[in-house]
Amino acid sequence: MLTKEENELLTQVGPGTPGGELLRRYWHPVAVAQELTEDNPTKIVRILGETLVLFLDKSGNVGLINDKCAHRGASLLYGRVEERGISCVYHGWLFDTCGNVLETPPEKNDAIINSVKQRSYPVQRYLGLYWTYMGPDPVPVIPHYDTFTRHDGKRTIVVHPVLDCNWFQAMENSVDPAHLQVLHQEYIGRGRTPVNTTRGFTDDVKDFSFNVNDIGIMKHREYHNGQVEEHPLIFPNILRQGPSTQIRVPIDDTHTAHIHVLFEYTGTIEDIDADPPVEYLKPYKVPAEALHPFAKFDMRSVIGQDHMAWETQGPIADRTIEHLSYSDRGVALLRKLMFENIEKVQRGEDPLGVLRDPDHEMIDTNLVDGLFGADGRGRQAGPTPDAAAVQSYRQ
């Protein structure tokens, strides 16, 4: 179990918090690009405990700035976009995408123009999403993961319902291989019946282990039948499994955006610069905005079961009352890695996985996972993933 202070280090994401400062060293997707249009040029973005406005000006530039106007605090969501930026609907103060004050109606106030700046963050359009970086300069690059950059397949963006819980609950699940054979037993048996519902298919597993590498934690699972599975948790907030790159973006301490980038191998050269199609999935609980125990979760899918397990721990899991076992050693390793990288940021160092070379090589995330053919070394061999398996990541 952890102390209250340790739990807060792992779960607090707001400005100035140690965990929040760590998360601000990475790029995060904040919106589907097609959501910003000439007819709807503004959108509220909640990320890392901040309320921001994403906007598309009439010159085609995209900005992400603080929602509260620096003048009198009215929301810029309702601002009027112009060629040079966004104008506050209340008094007309005009801001560009970098947060610079360009005009201050009704008068021209040079002192304000030269000294006041609306908080803003850089935005990049990538994979049909808008991404932002909220940390200090110099700005790193979005890593070239294989599922993001390979040309021999097609991509789909799947937007899952917002999680009504802290982001770290989803990430701990990603290094908790023991839950697969129990929680998801209805979907992994392939026609078999488990010995009982208590053990599920636990006895299929011979052993599992974890290894820290350059991008995060590689999870390794061995079965008694000789099958081996490996897939990584990409530090700090991505799970790479099967065809899916699952990104968990902290909205605030008790809500998390959940976006999947699906990669489906086709064997033909695809245009990765084109925006992928987007799917928005329905909530996994009724009522959709209720919390446990007042919500009833739909357990008829793997992702629905995961959402139940994550949310019913509470908006922020109380790790001061837990009792970890040997099978939770991946969870303990992830926490250790978080604490170490929080300390690195506090020392002014780059945390794990931050890259600054825009020309770095494509990053191998072990795109096999039982859904792709593999040669004797467990590397990509080429067949298309099973369609049912791909569909499960949309459920």
DSSP 386: P
Tens digit of pLDDT for each residue in 129-186?
Answer: 999 999 999 999 999 999 999 999 999 999 999 999 999 999 999 999 999 999 999 9
Query: What H or E segment, with its residue span, contains residue 125?
Result: strand 123-126
Residue 18 pLDDT greater than 80, yes or no:
yes
- Average model confidence (pLDDT) across the chain: 92
Q: Provide the greatest CA pair distance for the chain.
A: 78
CATH code of the region 32-133: 2.102.10.10
β-bridge partners, 380: 374
pLDDT band at 272 (very low <50, low <70, confident <90, very high): confident
Of 54-68, 121-135, 137-151, 269-283, least confident by mean pLDDT is 269-283
The pair of three-digit structure tokens given for residue 37, joined into one six-digit string: 């249009």
Residue 327 has pLDDT above 70, yes or no: yes
Within the chain, which residue ranges are assigned CATH 3.90.380? 146-392
* 17-21, 56-60, 73-77, 366-370: least confidently modelled range: 366-370
- What element of type H or E holds 305? helix 302-311
213-217, 316-320, 362-366, 376-380: which range is least confident on average? 376-380
Q: Is the pLDDT of residue 102 over 70?
A: yes
More reliable by pLDDT, 123 or 379: 123
Tokens describing residue 269: 């050269």
Asked if residues 165 and 290 have their Cβ atoms less than 8 Å apart, the reply is: no
CATH topology of domain 146-392: Naphthalene 1,2-dioxygenase Alpha Subunit; Chain A, domain 1 (3.90.380)
CA distance 316 to 12: 9
Residue 379 reports pLDDT greater than 80: no
- Under the banding of pLDDT at 50, 70 and 90, the label for residue 393 is low
Confidence of residue 391 (pLDDT cuts 50, 70, 90): low
Q: Where in the chain is the domain with CATH 2.102.10.10?
A: 32-133
Beta bridge partners of 42: 55
Residue 264 burial by Cβ neighbours in a 10 Å radius (0-12, 13-18, 19+): middle
Give the C-alpha separation, 162 to 175, whole Å.
21
Look-up of token digits 């994401």: 13
Residue with the two structure tokens 């991505």? 238
Percent above pLDDT 70 for the chain: 93
DSSP 82: -
Burial class (CB in 10 A: 0-12, 13-18, 19+), 297: middle
